[in-house]
Amino acid sequence: MDILNHSWDSMRIKHLFEERVEKNSDSKNDYLSIVKDVGVIPYSEKGNVGNKTSDNPEKYKRVYPDDLVINPMNVTIGSVGISNYSGCLSNVYMVLKPKIEFYPQYYGYLFQIKSFQKSLRKISYGIMEIRESINKIEFFGLELPYPPLSEQQQIVSFLDTKTSLIDSLIEKTQRKIELLKEKRTSLINEVVTKGLNPNVKMKDSGVEWIGEIPSHWKITKMKYGVSHLSEKGKPEKTDIKISPENVESDTGVCFNLYSEHESEGMRFQSGDILLNKLRLYLKKILYTEYDGFSLGEMIVLRTNNKLNNKYFYQLLFSQGLIDLLDSQSTGIKLPRVSPDVILNTKIVYPPLKEQQKIVEYLDEQTGLIDKTISIEEKRTELLKEYRQSLISEVVIGKLKVTTDE
C-alpha cells in the first residue's frame, strides 16, 4: 500500500506478525468475538448472537492482549481489531501475534482504513462482503508502513484521543436518534388507540394491549374491516416485486422495489398493506402506493369501508399489537403467525372521520420527527467519514502528528 511519509520504512506482514495457533486449554477463559467496526469484545457483550459451537475448550484458539484478530471472511468490511482481552475464540478467526517490537494499536488503526481493505479485497476470493476469505500467502506478503517507534506512539496517542471524541459524538447522536424513534413509536401507540381529544370520556376496551379507549369507539376483530388477499401470479421483469429483506424494520421504508427473487408472488394494488408474518417483531410493514407482487412471507391486507387504510397501517405498528401477535407465533427457527390468527385479533375501530383526522395528524407529526432523524443520521455518517479519513491520513503519513496535538 502507498506510504506518503517517505522517511518511513516498510515491512511485509510476515516480518511483523506470525499466526498464533495455540489451542485453548482453560475452560475458565472468556469467549471472545469480533464485531465489524467495533473490534474484539467479550461474547456476552455481543448479546450471545452467533455461533459458540461447543463448550469444549480445546476447540477454540487462544488470544492475548495486543494480538490482532481477523475474521478472514469479513475482513474487507472491517471485521478486524486488536484484542484488549485474554481469552479464546472460534477457529474461524485468524490470530496474529507480534514478531518484533511495535505498537500493536498502530496496526489496529491501519487495518481499519479503506485503502488497506481495498488491498485485501484484491487477494480475497468468494462472494464480496458476504463470504470472502483472504489468501494467506498473499496476505503475509503485503507490505505495510513501519514508522519509527516514537512516531507510532505519537500516532496511537493522537488517534486514541481524537477517535474517542468522535466516537462520543457518534454515540450521543445515535442515542438522540433512538430517542426520536421511541418518541415516534409512543406517539403512534397513543394516538391510534386514544384519539386526539385528551378530554374525551373513556371506557375500558376489554383488550389488554389497548387499554382504555374513547367511549364512542368500538372494538371488533380485524377481519371485519380487513381482508387477506392471496391471488398468486408470476411477475414480469418490469413488475414491482417486494420481498421482506428490502423493507426496513419499524419505518415502513422499502429501499428496493425490484426484488431479485424469481418466485411467484401475491398480487397487490396501490393502497394495500404488506405485513411480514415471519419474525413479526421486526415490524416489516409497508403501505403501498403502486401495484405489484408481494414475495416470501409478506401477506397482502386490504381494508374495506370500515377502516381507513392509512389508519390501519399506523395501527399495525402499535407495539402492544405486535407483541400480542408475536406471542402467537409458531416455529422456533422461523417463527411466523398465521393470517387467521392475525385477522381474528381484536383491534380498535374509531369513527371514519376520526380515523382520517388521526392519519392527517400523524402524517404531519411523524414527518417532522422523520426529518429530524434524517438530519441526525446524516450527521452520524459525516462523523464516521471524518473518523475514517482522519485515521487514514495519519497512519499512512499524509498528516503528521506530534504529542502536542
- Cα–Cα distances (Å) from 114 to 37, 244, 255, in that order, read 12, 31, 25
Dump the DSSP string for 316-370: HT-HHHHHHHHTT-B-SSS-B--HHHHHTSEEEE--HHHHHHHHHHHHHHHHHHH
Superfamily of structural domain 9-147: DNA methylase specificity domains (3.90.220.20)
Quick one: pLDDT at residue 52? 53
Looking at domain 218-349, which of 3.40.47.10, 3.90.220.20, 3.40.190.290, 3.30.1490.100 is its CATH number? 3.90.220.20
Quick one: pLDDT at residue 168? 97
On whether the CB atoms of residues 172 and 178 are closer than 8 A, the answer is no
The domain segmentation of the chain, as residue ranges, is 9-147, 218-349
Q: Name the H helices within 93-207.
A: 104-110, 114-122, 136-141, 149-194
Q: What is the CB-side half-sphere exposure of residue 97 using CA atoms within 13 A?
A: 10
Quick one: pLDDT at residue 79? 77
Dump the DSSP string for 298-329: EEEEEE-TTS-HHHHHHHHT-HHHHHHHHTT-
Quick one: pLDDT at residue 130? 47
Backbone φ and ψ for 255, nearest 5 degrees, come out as -100, 10
Separation of CA 265 from chain center: 27
C-alpha torsion sign, points 139, 144, 146, 147: negative
Decide if 9-147 and 218-349 have a common fold: yes
On whether the CB atoms of residues 155 and 394 are closer than 8 A, the answer is yes
CA distance 46 to 76: 20
Per-residue pLDDT of the chain (405 residues; tens, 9 = 90+): 666 677 899 999 999 999 998 888 777 778 888 777 778 888 777 655 454 545 566 778 899 999 999 887 666 566 788 999 998 888 888 899 999 999 999 999 998 888 888 888 788 766 544 455 778 899 899 999 999 999 999 999 999 999 999 999 999 999 999 999 999 999 999 999 999 999 999 999 999 999 999 999 999 999 999 999 999 999 998 999 999 999 999 888 999 999 988 889 999 999 999 999 999 999 999 999 999 999 999 999 999 999 999 999 999 999 999 999 999 999 888 899 999 999 999 999 999 999 999 999 999 999 999 999 999 999 999 999 999 999 999 999 999 887 554
Pairing of strands 80-82, 68-70: antiparallel
Helix axes 319-326, 309-316, angle to 10 degrees: 70
Quick one: pLDDT at residue 1? 61
C-alpha torsion sign, points 145, 121, 111, 141: negative
Query: Who contacts 75 (Cβ-Cβ below 8 Å, separation ≥6)?
Result: 111, 117, 120, 124, 132, 134
